Chain A
Amino acid sequence: MQITGDLKMVDVVQHDIQLLAVIQRLNIPLGFRERTVKEVCNINNVDLDFFLHIANSFHDKEFLDFKKFRNFPVDWIIQYLMNAHRCYVDYRIPEIERQIKNFEKQVDINEKNIALLLDFFRKYIREFNSHIEQEEKSVFPYILELSDILKSDNFDSPRRDKLPSISEFHDEHSSIEETLFDLKSILLKYLPPPVTNCLYNNLIFDIFRLERDLLDHAELEENVLYPLVKEMENELHSKQNLR
């Protein structure tokens, strides 16, 4: 199903609950009533076209194509990605950590496996934070600067000399969902549940959801944002050569 502006927002979410994350990251509050996608976007000052492109890309991978995002300012994509970062760092990851930590209270003092898991996960959090810091402190500012230079018409500004290129970032862009995949394997295959099944399952569900979410996130970075930046770099080079 392709999502269009005249569908009711509530129907869209009922159809694909994953889109709730998209809605939250565009700062659209719930309480849609009978409003259409178009109306909800208007009320919340979200560009309808941008919403439809993001939502359809996540809903149906066939739709995803960076060329369709050429007409939107890159700041919008970056803002979206940063909102997602906040959600992971402030809520999703601490929640998983909290659940593992909670297991400690419920098991025998001799049970060492929980400590092992917690240690594993905390190492992951450090890895994750430095991934996000690299993006927010180096990659995104670089892209914003590039976009400013292109808009300014002053292509020979001295700043550009120290700018790196997006391919360097792309090569280093590590897959932060791999550790979650491992965690899931360990919980499902190798660790006998130390606590009641219900709690244990809940943890596994949360890890699974976060893993999927991060895969989508990385896809937006690698298959939409980075190719767009590549084009911007080429544009800058050709404009500089014209002088």
Chain B
Amino acid sequence: MAKLVIAESSHVIALGLLSLVKTFQDVENVRIVHEEEECCSVIEEFSPDILLINTSFLKLETMHRMLKIKKDEAIVVHIFNTPLPIGAPMEQVSILDSKDILLNKFDTILKRVRNLSDELDTEELSPREKDILKEVAIGLTNKEIAEKTFISTHTVISHRKNITRKLGIKTVSGLTVYAILNNIIQMDDIS
């Protein structure tokens, strides 16, 4: 999932780009920035994966500051108010580009973001997480799990967060159902 910032002073162009990027299912959240002053604080707090910035929008010094505070792996895409030569790289889009060209470029950009994040996490539970899930599912508290498996409560909590994120299940009773459906525990294990 990718987070995006559109830094563009033209309201109409910003909305146009917004409606285009929203057609991609990987795009999770988009923020529009209309004022140069807001730009850095929004990027700092929102930490986007992709920044769409109009070349006429930022002064050089703001641009430098922004490049420093953005996430290292974040991709910067420049929006030009003038036509671009055919075969311009994906990091350059023009407000005069056709829909097809724009869709193509965003597709490439989003693929790249996806590849970057795939390396960071997979959706499969690790063996360690499966062990923790088993204990959660039979009804142990974080503290009990920590004592039983010789790790800190803090570590148990962070494992649980990861389990919830990967499975899309938040409650203990939901995790129990998952564990039974996947034969991680048996029906008889729960009292």
Q: Which of A's residues lie within 8 Å of B, judged by CB?
A: 112-113, 116-117, 120, 123-124, 178-179, 181-183, 185-186, 189-191
Contacts and interface: CB of A to CB of B under 8 A. Distances in A.
Contact of A113 (B171, B173, B181): B181
Contact of A179 (B167, B174, B180, B181): B174
A189 B177 CA distance: 12
Contacts of A185: 167-169, 174
Given A112-B187, A185-B167, A186-B169, A120 B174 contact: yes
Contacts, number: 43
A113 B170 CA distance: 20
24 contacts: A112-B187, A116-B177, A120-B173, A120-B176, A123-B173, A179-B173, A182-B168, A182-B169, A182-B170, A182-B171, A182-B173, A182-B174, A183-B174, A185-B168, A185-B169, A185-B174, A186-B174, A186-B177, A186-B178, A189-B167, A190-B178, A190-B181, A190-B182, A191-B181
A227 B182 CA distance: 44
A202 to B, nearest CB: 20
Nearest to B167: A185
Contacts of A189: 167-168
7 closest cross-chain pairs (CB), A and B: A182-B174, A185-B168, A182-B169, A178-B170, A120-B177, A182-B171, A179-B171
Nearest to A120: B177
A52 to B, nearest CB: 28
Contacts of A181: 168, 170
Interface residues of B, number: 14
Interface string B162-190: 00000111110110111011100001000
A47 B168 CA distance: 42
B180 A116 contact: yes
Interface string B12-33: 0000000000000000000000
A146 B114 CA distance: 54
A116 B186 CA distance: 12
B138 to A, nearest CB: 15
Q: Among the interface residues A112, A117, A123, A186, which one has the most CB atoms of the partner chain B within 10 A? A: A186
Nearest to B169: A182
Contacts of B178: 186, 190
Contacts of A182: 168-171, 173-174, 177
